[in-house]
Amino acid sequence: RKEVEQDPGPFNVPEGATVAFNCTYSNSASQSFFWYRQDCRKEPKLLMSVYSSGNEDGRFTAQLNRASQYISLLIRDSKLSDSATYLCAHYNNNDMRFGAGTRLTVKP
Amino acid sequence: GAGVSQSPRYKVAKRGQDVALRCDPISGHVSLFWYQQALGQGPEFLTYFQNEAQLDKSGLPSDRFFAERPEGSVSTLKIQRTQQEDSAVYLCASSSGTMGYEQYFGPGTRLTVT
């Protein structure tokens, strides 16, 4: 089983839709979790940190479920500019482990 | 402020050549990470520095890969005798803390081995 697993998608949604991604992790001792956004041929950019039970930033909400070992990202009122690949990540001792990413395309 | 920078942005090497990839982290950032990202995959951890100390190199795929950060700031990832399977984007990230902190990525070096 991979350290971090994500549904690769692609998710194709219309503008204004709500979309949710899940990410499961195998290291139950992990304390720090993150969502990154990566545009085509660009570097990952930090979207949100998830340090406790969850947090919200505008249209984006991240949740952490320690019992089931997954984190989720909810995007409300999606925009065309939200089209990207979304990577979840968590710390495993010294290094960060990433999922393969979920691709989102928002269509007009 | 200045983010993480990497050079060169693109590198084409003939199989068997040695290459050196440079990373300038955000000023004052203690931690520096190198990742390898293949097409359609997430970044894969290569190695981690805390200041000048290389604390984890468990992700380096072979002894042809070598990284250093001699003064605790700029880092170089060297790949000797490049192979076609080394073709990937090499990402550098830095962090202000020692563990558990957000990492900020540079633009990457796209290496193509022909």
What are the tens digits of pLDDT across the range B79-100? 999 999 999 999 999 999 877 7
Express each pLDDT in B55-79 by its tens digit: 999 999 999 999 999 999 999 999 9
- Can you give the length of chain B in residues? 114
A65, A89, B85, B101 from A31: Cα distances, Å = 12, 11, 33, 10
Interatomic CA distance for residues B46 and A95, integer angstroms: 9
The neighbour count for residue B3, using CB atoms within 10 Å, is 14
Q: Which residue has the tokens 């955000």?
A: B26
Composition of chain A by helix, strand, coil, percent to 5: 5, 55, 40
Integer-rounded Cα radius of gyration of chain A: 13
Q: Which helix (H) or strand (E) holds A14?
A: strand A11-14
- Residues 6 or more apart from B67 whose CB is under 8 A from it? B34, B46, B47, B49, B54, B57, B60, B75, B76, B77, B78
Q: How many CB pairs under 8 A join A and B?
A: 53
State the DSSP code for A81: G
Q: Do B100 and A95 touch (CB under 8 A)?
A: no
Do A29 and A10 form a contact (C-beta atoms < 8 A)? no
The shortest CB-CB distance from B56 to any of A32, A94, A99 is to A94
Confidence band of B2 (pLDDT split at 50, 70, 90) = confident
Q: Residue A97: helix, strand or coil by DSSP? A: strand
Q: Do A32 and B107 touch (CB under 8 A)?
A: no
The neighbour count for residue B114, using CB atoms within 10 Å, is 10
Which is more confidently placed, A31 or B17? B17
What's the confidence (pLDDT) of residue B70?
96
Confidence band of A1 (pLDDT split at 50, 70, 90) = low
Quote the percentage of chain B above a pLDDT of 70. 99
* Å between B113 CA and nearest CA of chain A: 18
Mean pLDDT across the stretch A29-58? Answer: 90
Taking contacts as CB-CB distances below 8 angstroms, the residues of chain A near B93 are 96
Question: Closest chain B residue to A101 measured between Cα atoms?
Answer: B42
